[in-house]
Structure 1
Amino acid sequence: MTRASSKAGGASIGAPRLRARRQPLWRRPAVVALAFLSPALVSLLILRLAPAAVALVDSLFRSSLLGGTRFVWLENYTTLFTNPDFVSSLGVTLLFTVIVNPLQVAVAFFLAVLYTRRAPGSKVWRSLVILPIAVPPAVSAVIWSVIYRPDGLGNSFLALVGIPPQPFLTSPHQSLSAIIVVLSWIGVGYWMMFLIAGLNDVPSELYEAASLDGASAWRQLWSITFPLVRRPLAFVLVADTVSNLLVFAPVQILTKGGPEGSTNLLMYDIFTRAYSFGDLNGAQTEVIILVLITIVIVGIQFRLLRSED
């Protein structure tokens, strides 16, 4: 009787375990997680990876009306790098990237630090800085095209401080700076929000302890704020870099790559090569080059901003 009851008890104890091992496939955590991620994975495949694969394949071919399509291997790349217009566009893009990314991140970080202080009116000013996010980039470009007119608000403001009228968009020496100002006006508030979220996660006790030790505000910024906000800062820098390398609408609306190619960024050059010249294979080649440049720059940024756990 005892052995039978013990066997029955053992069977009753082992039964739930057996049933737990044999739960339906659709209830397993990995399957459930994959089901939730599937829309994003399908979108990534269709909208990102598939076009990139098509661009890579097209960059290895050359199409013509008379000769059809033929495999040319790396001929499209060598042709581009011997093209003075492409080389100029590449130089403008690299110069633009070197200037605009540190500028936007530095201003966004400074404003984030400023607006996390408990100062009167800081929330109002923070809202005003974030306000340009609600305006589409194309609309922002139209607004700034009016500001940059010879009789626009920009020159009117300069006249108040005794500065003569400036050409802004019609000068090859000022047009790229004018584009940088527009993009900073659009993007600084957006990146500032991420940095404010990172700053709010820094424990206030660290600042209190540093103040008791006599640390100055700059010392606290360098020894406490920077190390603890490094990851949000790295994210903002990388995302800002990718965003600025893909700039198109402000250039199309304000300068159309001019004057004298001074604002002919790679994204606009890709558009011009594909839709103005009809060189789809050359445009796809430029896309691959732009992707490679982005990967290299982002890799360097991650290496410079990586933190030891």
Structure 2
Amino acid sequence: MMRSKWRAAIAPLLFLTPALVALIGFRLLPACWLVQQSLSGPDGEFAGLDNFEFLFSSPTFAKTLHTTLTFVAVAVPLQTAISFGLALLFAGNSRIVSLLRILVFLPVLIPSSVAAILWGAALRPQGLANALLSSVGVSAQPFLASPDQALMSIVVTSSWIGVGFWMIFLIGGLKDIPRDLYEAASIDGAGKLSSLWHITIPLMRRPLAFVIVADTVAAFLLFAPIAILTRGGPGGSTQLIMYDVYQQAYFFNDVPLAAAEGLTLMVLMMVIMLIQFRLLSREKQL
């Protein structure tokens, strides 16, 4: 009897062990190491908050932080809106819609490094983008070579990579909405816009909340397009925090400062996600 109870108690722990080992090994221990390194000096000695004081007194980091927040503030709403629009267009089950949905999703299957190279070729002075602009009478644009256009070019590149992925989640949410709600609204004389505003959007708050939060994390952690296309330039106009962490650690060999910057990025993401969850939950209560 005791043996059977022991087996019943130990069996769930055995199933949870791989997940617990992965959580400790790939999440908790690296997080502890990050905190320890952020409080260390160049020679490994305890330095307290010196790295953070240096970061927040540095005009260069202030510009990097501003650029990162600008990128997130533009990229996340843009990608969410485009993904939602595409989900509304391609939520049907016809063959043409299915084919178009596959075409929109294809960039997700391409590695981000390959996608960045493709967009780098398209945005060159003699690339496809300027060829299309010249065909409609618009002069050639510098795109990645311009401090005023480089960040928006990265926004376009990351959006091309990501919108198909977020679209799939939103299509799943749209398919969970009962069709009889739309039929009842149609009987009551509601048009498509009215149904969209009063039925679709309220019932899509949870999928939209997931997309907004997940896309925010992805935007903060964007790395490959920056590293391949601009390397933070020109003039620091695309210097995001994630790429700056990479530079501090591998180019300048300042691991403690990189750890402090990485911890700052993690805390910043958590704060913004908490604000998002709070606002979205408040909307749900209203």
- Pair 56,172 (structure 1): closer, same or farther in 2 beyond 3 Å: same
Q: Partners in 2 of 1:243 and 1:100 — Cα distance?
A: 10
Within a 5 Å distance, the mapping from 1:165-204 to structure 2 comes to: 165-204=140-179
Within a 5 Å distance, the mapping from 1:99-178 to structure 2 comes to: 99-117=74-92, 121-178=96-153
Q: Partners in 2 of 1:35 and 1:207 — Cα distance?
A: 48
Q: Partners in 2 of 1:48 and 1:108 — Cα distance?
A: 30
Contact 2:92–2:98 (8 Å) recurs in 1: no
Q: Specify the code of the residue in structure 1 equivalent to 2:38.
A: S
Q: Which residue is 2:4 aligned to?
A: 23
Q: Specify the code of the residue in structure 2 equivalent to 1:46.
A: G
Q: Which residue is 2:240 aligned to?
A: 265
Q: Specify the code of the residue in structure 2 equivalent to 1:90.
A: L
Q: CA deviation at 1:40?
A: 2.4
Q: Specify the code of the residue in structure 1 equivalent to 2:6.
A: L
SS state at 2:68 partner: helix
Q: Which residue is 2:187 aligned to?
A: 212
Q: Specify the code of the residue in structure 1 equivalent to 2:275.
A: I
Q: Which residue is 2:18 aligned to?
A: 39
Q: Specify the code of the residue in structure 1 equivalent to 2:279.
A: L
**CA-to-partner distance for each residue in 1:58-81, whole Å, 9 max, x for gaps?**
111112xxxx33222111111011
Q: Partners in 2 of 1:194 and 1:88 — Cα distance?
A: 34
Q: Partners in 1 of 2:11 and 2:81 — Cα distance?
A: 42
Q: Specify the code of the residue in structure 1 equivalent to 2:160.
A: W
Q: State, as a whole percentage, how many aligned pairs show the same letter.
A: 48
Q: Partners in 1 of 2:41 and 2:161 — Cα distance?
A: 39
Q: Partners in 2 of 1:22 and 1:78 — Cα distance?
A: 58
Of structures 1 and 2, the one scoring higher in RCO (CA 8 A, sep 6+) is: 2
Q: Specify the code of the residue in structure 2 equivalent to 1:150.
A: P
Q: Partners in 2 of 1:232 and 1:102 — Cα distance?
A: 14
Q: Partners in 2 of 1:219 and 1:117 — Cα distance?
A: 20
Q: Partners in 2 of 1:124 and 1:231 — Cα distance?
A: 27
Q: Does 1:83 align with 2:62?
A: no
Q: Specify the code of the residue in structure 1 equivalent to 2:197.
A: W
Q: Specify the code of the residue in structure 2 equivalent to 1:59.
A: S
Segment of structure 1 superposing worse, 172-181 or 208-217? 208-217
SS state at 1:144 partner: helix
Q: Partners in 1 of 2:95 and 2:185 — Cα distance?
A: 24
Q: CA deviation at 1:274?
A: 1.0
The alignment's C-alpha RMSD in Å is 1.7
TM-score by length of 2: 0.95
Contact 2:39–2:51 (8 Å) recurs in 1: yes
Match of 2:41 among 53, 62, 70: 62
Q: Partners in 2 of 1:199 and 1:32 — Cα distance?
A: 39
**CA-to-partner distance for each residue in 1:106-141, whole Å, 9 max, x for gaps?**
110111111114667211111110011110000000
Q: Which residue is 1:276 aligned to?
A: 251
Q: CA deviation at 1:42?
A: 1.6
Match of 2:267 among 252, 274, 292: 292
**Structure 1: 4+ residue segments shifted above 6 A:** none
Q: Partners in 1 of 2:70 and 2:86 — Cα distance?
A: 25
Q: Specify the code of the residue in structure 2 equivalent to 1:58.
A: Q
SS state at 1:62 partner: coil
Q: Which residue is 2:47 aligned to?
A: 72
Contact 2:51–2:257 (8 Å) recurs in 1: yes
Q: Specify the code of the residue in structure 2 equivalent to 1:82.
A: S
**Structure 1 gaps, min length 5:** 1-18
Q: Partners in 2 of 1:229 and 1:238 — Cα distance?
A: 14
- Pair 209,22 (structure 1): closer, same or farther in 2 beyond 3 Å: farther
Q: Partners in 2 of 1:238 and 1:37 — Cα distance?
A: 27
Q: Partners in 2 of 1:42 and 1:118 — Cα distance?
A: 42
Q: Partners in 2 of 1:206 and 1:86 — Cα distance?
A: 51
Q: Specify the code of the residue in structure 2 equivalent to 1:122.
A: V
Q: CA deviation at 1:278?
A: 1.2
Report the structure number with the largest CA radius of gyration: 1
- Pair 33,229 (structure 1): closer, same or farther in 2 beyond 3 Å: farther
Q: CA deviation at 1:105?
A: 0.8
